[in-house]
Amino acid sequence: MKIVNPMDNDITVQVPGGTKYTVLANDSISGVPANHAEFWKGLHPWLVITPEATDVVEEVIEEIVEDIKEDVKEEVIEVEKKEEVIEEVKEEVIEDKKEEVKETIADKVKKVIKKGKK
């Protein structure tokens, strides 16, 4: 964040955690973390706090990353659902094939028995 001091005297503030910032009279400083800037503005309401281009870019990037994460989660859920369906279909096919094999073996055994009786 960028902090602008519109006053005619320098201001120094120590934020929780021990970091000290000084803004000269009628000057500004950049690169202040948002939580520090907000703390400072709470002490000196006349200070002007503005986001820097890098802050805006970081926010946009964070939003994009969150959107991508959400899309990935949705895709993973879709893939998991498809995998479940595939497993169910495989199990059904296996059961059907087992039945076909049993019927085929039963038919062959019947034929062999018929031949043996002749």
pLDDT tens digit sequence for 17-44: 888 989 999 999 988 888 888 898 898 8
pLDDT at 9 over 70: yes
| 25 contacts 47 by C-beta, under 8 angstroms | no
Determine the pLDDT at residue 54.
Answer: 67
Find residue 14's DSSP bridge partners: 20
pTM of the model: 0.43
Rounded-to-integer distance, Cα 86 and Cα 95, Å: 14
